[in-house]
Amino acid sequence: MRDELNRNQVTDTQTTCDNLRDAAYHEAGHVVVARFLGLTIGKIEIEEDGSGRADISSAEHLPLIDQIALCVAGIEAQELFNCPMHEHAALGDYVKVSRLVAGLTEAESYEHRQAGYSRALEILKNQLPEIDRLADQLIKQRRIEATLKNGELRGQTGLNSKSVVFGRQPIPPAFELEEQ
CB of 115 within 8 A of CB of 144?
A: no
32-88 pLDDT per residue, tens:
999 999 999 999 999 999 899 999 999 999 999 999 999 999 999 999 999 987 667
β partners of residue 56: 41
pLDDT digits (tens, 9 = 90+) for 127-149: 999 999 999 999 999 999 875 44
3-state secondary structure of 79: helix
CA distance 134 to 121: 17
Q: What is the pTM of this model?
A: 0.77
What's the number of CA atoms in the CB half-sphere (13 Å) around residue 161? 20
